[in-house]
Amino acid sequence: MHRNLRWKIPLILLVVLGSVYLAWPLKDKINLGLDLRGGMHLVLEVQTEKAVEAGLERRANDIKKALEDDAIEVDRLKVDQETARLKILLVDASDMAGTEDRMRTYPGLTKVEISSDGLEAIYELKNDEREFIKQNAVSQALEIIRNRVDEFGVAEPSIQIQGERRILVQLPGIKDPKVAIELIGKTARLEFRLVNELVSPDAATSGGLPPDSEVLYERNIDPKTGEVIKGDGDPIVVKKRAELTGEMLTNADVRFDSSNNMPYVSLTFDSIGSQLFYDITSKNVKRRLAIVLDENVYSAPVIQEAIAGGQAQVTGSFSTAEARNLAIALRAGALPAPVKILENRTVGASLGSDSVKAGVKSVLAGFVAVLIFIVIYYRLSGMVAVMALFLNIVLLLGALAYFRASLTLPGIAGILLTVGMAIDANVLVFERIREEIKIGKTVRAAIEAGFEKAFRTIVDANVTTFIAAIVLFQFGTGPIKGFAITLCIGILASMFTAVFVSHVVFDSVQARRKLEKLSI
């Protein structure tokens, strides 16, 4: 045996067997894309203006607390969302200098004017700060949605930003779109707010609502259907200021109440949140603390004693699945702004199945047509090309399984294109060998010269196509990326099988017996 064959043949066997191991069984190892498997296609729009409003409200709360810490008495701090301005009204004009010093620690705000009496200061959110908040809101929303989808257990999701504030979400294999939409679209902003028990809901709705309070409604469940009835629960007057938010959560789990076997969500806070929760509960014993999620009151229990350890519960008439999804949303974190569903399409499983059958038929038909041609035209040498083509498909499937890439309809088109390119490489080699035989070279010399002369042309053709595929993958989205992935992998596999493996097969045959004539 030729000494080079001692490592080339084991290498080929290793690559082929490894690919078979990675790809078999196909049903379990090859992920099908949305167009083949069926699933959901969502286009979401992040309401970035809401993120700006929330950011301004947070700054207002921080500023108020900071001024109080500086012993500056604030009569009123008003947020104007339309103009993105803060109006600070002081009790004593002598505090204005200290207020301006404190406001310099907020570089995102710029001073607009100070009233002539020195009691009112107006600050405005800078334009670049507004744009930063908007861009950050979209990036944060993408990561949070991705975390929620990962925890929901969807294989091979496609989640990416489109344009300035849109997010494309594709979830192959989703069988319950309603649950998925509810999970993805839930803002999941968790707040603990004190109930204002000095004001009755009736007085609040008739105009007696203090400026620091607002009316929220308890989450109400239809006892017959189990569905949430929006806006139909009991009103509760709560403080606008949140004592504690979900940003300090470290975990959220579904647990079951031992007395009635009902599920609830158990919350765990970090060290800062735990201390804060203890301070809140110790200072407000016998008062009601409302647990508010997305502006809905889930429960408002009376604090019986100070709660240490950083543990809390969100109760409410949950189903197990609803409690699980709520825990996922809380663990992934709150969306920085609500999202609006612009497009919601569901690809049915039957359509996906039909697409798979049509795709497989097209690949087989193309494969068989090429095989018939190549065997008729190049005879026994054509069988070498057939073997290389078969190995090319095996390597491609193994690579798809290894990289956990999804096979899509455009991906099948990429495989078909790869089949054509693989045969084209063999044709180039065989034609060069024929030319060498015609000028009188021996079979061994003709084979060596044929592979050597065809190699540069094959590399040139494949490299340019590979570069084009890389560009498609980098700048394309969805189906275009699927096409680019299969094309890239197919080109590399084609180079390996059509040039390296075919050459080794010819060398192996010649190593066993000297060929006087080549069937080509």
Local confidence band at 223 (pLDDT 50, 70, 90 cut-offs):
low
pLDDT at residue 17 above 90? yes
Give CA–CA dist 383/217, Å, rounded.
75
| Mean pLDDT value across residues 204-233 | 70
| Mean pLDDT value across residues 343-359 | 70
Residue type, 519: S
Instruction: Calculate the alpha carbon distances from 452 to 99, 433, 500, 505 in Å.
Output: 81, 10, 11, 15
CB-based burial label for 393 (10 Å; 0-12, 13-18, 19+): buried
pLDDT score, position 21: 92
Instruction: Pick the range with the lowest mean pLDDT from 77-91, 325-339, 351-365.
Output: 351-365
3-class state of residue 12 by DSSP = helix
The closest of 31, 12, 93 to 403, measured between CA atoms, is 31
pLDDT score, position 171: 85
pLDDT score, position 356: 67
pLDDT at residue 448 above 80? yes
DSSP H/E element including 113 = strand 109-114
pLDDT score, position 262: 81
pLDDT score, position 425: 87
pLDDT digit string (tens) for 125-143?
Answer: 888 888 988 988 898 888 8
| Mean pLDDT value across residues 18-26 | 89
Instruction: Pick the range with the lowest mean pLDDT from 97-106, 188-197, 319-328, 458-467.
Output: 319-328
Give CA–CA dist 489/469, Å, rounded.
10
pLDDT score, position 443: 86
Task: Please name each of the domains of the chain with its CATH number.
Answer: 4-33+353-512 (1.20.1640.10), 50-126 (3.30.70), 195-320 (3.30.1360.200)
Local confidence band at 458 (pLDDT 50, 70, 90 cut-offs):
confident
Average predicted confidence (pLDDT) for the chain = 83
pLDDT digit string (tens) for 388-406?
Answer: 888 988 998 898 888 877 7
Give CA–CA dist 177/180, Å, rounded.
5
Q: ω before 25 within 30° of 0 (cis)? A: yes
Cβ pair 518, 447 in contact under 8 A: yes
Q: How many CB atoms sit inside 10 A of residue 481's CB? A: 22
Cβ pair 209, 237 in contact under 8 A: yes
pLDDT at residue 230 above 70? no
pLDDT score, position 146: 86
| Mean pLDDT value across residues 339-366 | 74
| Mean pLDDT value across residues 348-354 | 60
Q: What is the dihedral of CA 357, 361, 363, 364, to 10 degrees?
A: 130
Give CA–CA dist 130/81, Å, rounded.
12
CB-based burial label for 234 (10 Å; 0-12, 13-18, 19+): exposed
Q: Residues in the chain, how many?
A: 520
Residue 111, strand partner residues: 123
pLDDT score, position 351: 55
Instruction: Pick the range with the lowest mean pLDDT from 25-34, 59-68, 216-225.
Output: 216-225
pLDDT at residue 169 above 60? yes
What percentage of the chain reaches a pLDDT higher than 70? 93
pLDDT digit string (tens) for 475-509?
Answer: 776 667 778 888 888 889 988 998 899 989 988 88
DSSP H/E element including 151 = helix 127-152
What percentage of the chain reaches a pLDDT higher than 90? 7
pLDDT at residue 426 above 60? yes
| Mean pLDDT value across residues 49-64 | 85
More confident residue, 100 or 4: 100
pLDDT score, position 228: 55
Local confidence band at 13 (pLDDT 50, 70, 90 cut-offs):
very high
Give CA–CA dist 124/162, Å, rounded.
30
pLDDT at residue 244 above 60? yes
pLDDT score, position 350: 52
Spatial neighbors of 292 by CB under 8 A, at least 6 apart, are 190, 191, 192, 193, 216, 238, 242, 298
pLDDT at residue 28 above 70? yes
More confident residue, 228 or 452: 452
With vertex at residue 155, the alpha carbon angle to CA 150 and CA 156, rounded to the nearest 5 degrees, is: 100
pLDDT score, position 353: 66
Helices 502-512 and 349-402, packing angle to 10 deg? 60
The closest of 242, 252, 262 to 312, measured between CA atoms, is 252
Cβ pair 185, 207 in contact under 8 A: no
Estimate the share of the chain in helix, then strand, then coil, as percent rounded to the nearest 5: 55, 20, 25
pLDDT score, position 195: 92
pLDDT at residue 225 above 80? no
